[in-house]
Structures are given as C-alpha cells and as structure tokens.
A and B are shown apart, each in its own frame.
Chain A
C-alpha cells in the first residue's frame, strides 16, 4: 500500500518514488531516512553557519577549554596536580562535551522549531515522524561537540596527559563511542518529547538533567566520593560506563575505585545492554509524549513571552 501511495503522488511528471534517494527503502523507513538526512543538514546549517568558520573553531575551543581549566584550577588548590589526575579530568570533560550536546540538543531543536522558527506544525504534518528529525538534530549537535571533545583531548596531551602505552585502543574506542552516543541520543530525544509538554521551563530541564548527570557519572571525580545511594544511581547510567570505556581506550588505565575493577568486556556488555534498554524505551516514550503533546495542543504554542 505504501508503495502504491508513493507512486500515485506525482510531482509534475516525476513521481516521489523516483525522486527518493533511498532506492531499497520504502514507505516509512524511506521517510525516516530522508527525514534524518534533512534534519541533519538543517542542524548543520543552524549550528555551524551562525558565524565565520574561524570564530566557530574559536568558540568550539574556548568554552570547553575554559571548563577544563576551571577544574584543573580547582585540582591545583591541593597542590598535587599529577598527570594521572589530568588524564582523568580531561577524558571526563571531553566525553561530557558530547553528552551535554546530545542531551540538550533534541529539546532545544523541538522548542526552536515550535517557538522560534514555528515549523514544528509543518514537520508534524509530514508523513514522517518527529523522531528521526530529533535524532538527526541530536547527532549533528553531538558531532559538533565531538570536535570540542577532540580539542580538549589534544590540550590534555599537550598538558602531559599520558596516553595508553602502545597507542590508543582503537577497537575499544570504536565500540564504546557509538554505543555511548546511541544511548545518550536515545535519552536526549525522549527528554525532548517530554519537555514539549512543559511551559516556561521547557528550555531548562535538559540543562538540569545534564548538570545532574555530570555530577553522577564520574566525569571529574570517582563515584566513591558521592554518598552511597547516589553512587548506585551513577553506576546505573550508561554515560558512566561510556566515560570509563573511553578512559581505558585512551589512557590505558582504569579509574580508581570500584568502577576500575570491572573487566573491560563486562563494561562493554553493560554499556551495550544499557543502550538496548534505552532504545527499547526511548521511541515508545517519544511517541507517547508527542501524541500527548498533540492531544493537549502543546505542539503549536508559544511559551516564550
């Protein structure tokens, strides 16, 4: 039916089926893929075209480096700024650049489309779901934040951060980074759909969530520093395992504390299970929240006044 419907819709002699760049994909899968690509292109235009390339690079470097500098400055208060500590903080900071962007990106994209560009109603009225649109926006934000992460790591190396003997563990990196990214994008898009329900605070929730995750995931200090029950919450976050995986891949050493005692294979398995669980739940939560927003008329309103 989908195929027939697509073939029937013709645009000046050129059927939509012919116009589709995804030959093997049909129906909703093709719509989703096309939406993902279109949303990614749009996100790139919004996120990267706001200024000259030079300023963009400066912006992408300055803020994360200042953040890193802040934590290193605090480290220096004790007068014991060792290279192992630098490595610990640098990797945590670098990964969290991506975490923060992917967590906040979908909410900001949905709210921007609703309130600033006023396009959400038109996107919603297309045959494709808002889910691939949100994923596309989140992925581009995460990719741009990835360049900040790279800058932080290069700076860490310049500051004397010791890399893993024998080079970076690329296979481990290639497993944990996509898994971690997937998990955080899943959380981000579900969070975005939930935030569309809210009124004035909608912009701020993802930031609060990111701040909480930052506190709990052992990005700049070991989980053991946190009170006992809070440690358990931290250990349940896939981001915690993602950061630990990247630390092991780049630095070649495990974190101090209990997290460091988990074998790498087990760590990867925990991260993979967490990602699967998130992606089993996130689309359902997304659909539920968006449908609820539609029922309540939240998709077409402006709260910024």
Chain B
C-alpha cells in the first residue's frame, strides 16, 4: 500500500490545493487556449473530409437554384437573383448556428464529449466560443464559394460602395447569429428527443420571418418584431441594402440602425448564452440527466 497518512498526507493535500489556485492572467490565457483548442477541429478537421465541404455547398446551391428559377419564372428584376445568392451565403451561417452551435452540445452529450468538457477545468462558455469562432471561420469560406458559384451560374453582381461598412455589417451579423447559437445550445440540451425537430423549426420558419429571400418589410409588424429579435432579419436587410443599392427601397430600417441592432444582439445574446450555460450546468448537476448520456 502506497497510501500517505499523517503529516505526509497533509503536505500533499496542501500542495494539491495550492495547484488549484490559478491566477487571473493564467485563467484568461487558459480561456483563450480553450477557445483555440475547440475551434481547431472546426477549421482544420473539416478540411479532411472534402465530401463534407461538397455537401455544405450542394444544399445551399440547390436551394438557391430553386429560388432563382422561381424568380425567373416570375420575370422579376435580376437584382433579386443576386439577392437570393447573398441570402444563400448568409443562410450557410444560419445552418451552422442551428446545427453546429445549437445542436452541438446535444450531440456532444451523446458522444461523451460533454462529460469531458464538464470535468475539465474549462468553462462551457469557452468551449461554445471556440465552436462559434471555428464555425464562423469555416463557414466564411463556404459562403464565399456560394457567392462565386452564384456569380458564375446565374450572373449575380453586386455594387458595394463601402466595403468597410459591408464588412462590418457582415461581422456584426455573424457575431449576432453565433451569440444566439450559444443560447440555442442550452435550449437544445434541455429539449432532449425534440432537439432534431427543434432544429427543423428554426430553419424555414426563421427564414420566412427573417426576410431572407423576400424583404422583411413585406411582413409588416411581424417584420419589425423579427428585426428586433432575429439576427437573420436585420443582417439580410442591411446586407441587401449595402450590396444591391437598386433594391434599397425595400429596406426596413437604415443600415446604421440595423448594425446597431446586430451589435446589441451580439452582446445581449452573449450574456444570456453565458447565463444559460451556467444555469444548464447547475440544473444538470442537480437533475443528473442533462450533462451525461443515458447509460
């Protein structure tokens, strides 16, 4: 038996406890490292399966093509075709928010990864931020390919007068969507067997409310509400105004106001998301079912 007792045990216990006292700067560095650690599989791991990239592009391009042919069958202004391609690019982020953020912890629980995250000295917030960062970087690449594909297949063209403002709007849009994704990750965890269906409900209904293919302005009061709570709505409305000025009259609010809304959403959803993750962890430890897979 190698058990320590008496003074030796006390000495070891004190040493162990001392090792658990991490300074603030150490914790900050650890959080950043954890974000990078979790982002890594999203950015580099996905490159290992080119077929995944293929499917990530095929679905949006098929959806986009349906809308494009529908628009052409109606003989509307070709600028709407370009808007559709922009919307498809934005929707790749939204799909990533639903499935790679919202549903991710739900899947991680089933695979056993969530248990490892919980028992590691890493906060779920850092893991979620890593997922968001890695997801956004990976999807940015796909979104760019979709825009290029749209230009080549359907002749989409854009007139971006202020690239910086466009970039800032895109960044704010992505931040707001992924912040919402952090909130969704907790909600999916609670939803159990209904998680897959919840993902479905966040797809087409939110595309409709978000005014993705047709202006949110056409939705009237519902559109105004959507702009206030659903990042897709101000994001698409602002990006469409900035990239396709000829459709500017269809905008609901001035671009600057919509950027402001997106920034506010990023902060508010971020704070709520962090609170929800802490709450879920607490509830999971009390109830015993949320954090570990059913054996």
Residues of A in contact with B (beta carbons under 8 Å apart) = 50-51, 55, 59, 62-63, 66-67, 69-71, 73-78, 80, 200-201, 204, 207-208, 211-212, 214-215, 220-222, 225-226, 304-305
User: Nearest CB to that of B61 among chain A residues?
Assistant: A211
Question: Count of A-B contacts with CB under 8 A?
Answer: 95
User: Nearest CB to that of B56 among chain A residues?
Assistant: A204
Give min CB distance, B249 to chain A, whole Å: 13
Enumerate B176-221 residues with CB–CB distance to A below 8 Å: 193-194, 197, 200-201, 203-205, 207-208, 211-215, 218
Give min CB distance, A81 to chain B, whole Å: 10
Cβ–Cβ contact B72 & A225, under 8 A:
yes
Q: Does B246 contact A (CB under 8 A)?
A: no
Give min CB distance, A76 to chain B, whole Å: 6
- On chain B, the residues within 8 Å of A76 by CB distance are 214, 218
- Other-chain contact of B51, A59, A73, A200 (Cβ < 8 Å): A200
Give min CB distance, B106 to chain A, whole Å: 13
Cβ–Cβ contact B214 & A66, under 8 A:
no
- On chain B, the residues within 8 Å of A207 by CB distance are 59
Cβ–Cβ contact B205 & A66, under 8 A:
yes
The complex places the Cα of A51 from the Cα of B66 at a distance, in Å, of 32
If A62-B201, A70-B207, A211-B58 are given as contacts, then 8 extra A-B residue pairs at C-beta distance below 8 Å, sorted by A number, are A50-B193, A51-B193, A51-B194, A63-B204, A67-B204, A77-B71, A201-B55, A208-B58
The complex places the Cα of A210 from the Cα of B67 at a distance, in Å, of 15
Q: Does B70 contact A (CB under 8 A)?
A: yes
Question: B273-293 vs A: 1/0 string, CB under 8 Å?
Answer: 000000000000000000000
A51-B193, A70-B208 given; A215·B69 CB < 8 A: yes
Secondary structure call for the A interface: helix
- Other-chain contact of B70, A59, A69, A71, A304 (Cβ < 8 Å): A71
A51-B197, A73-B208 given; A215·B65 CB < 8 A: yes
Enumerate B212-262 residues with CB–CB distance to A below 8 Å: 212-215, 218
One of B17-25, B73-81, B118-126, B135-143 at the interface: B73-81
Cβ–Cβ contact A78 & B75, under 8 A:
yes
Give min CB distance, A29 to chain B, whole Å: 35
The complex places the Cα of A67 from the Cα of B213 at a distance, in Å, of 12
A70-B208, A208-B55 given; A225·B80 CB < 8 A: no
Cβ–Cβ contact B69 & A78, under 8 A:
no
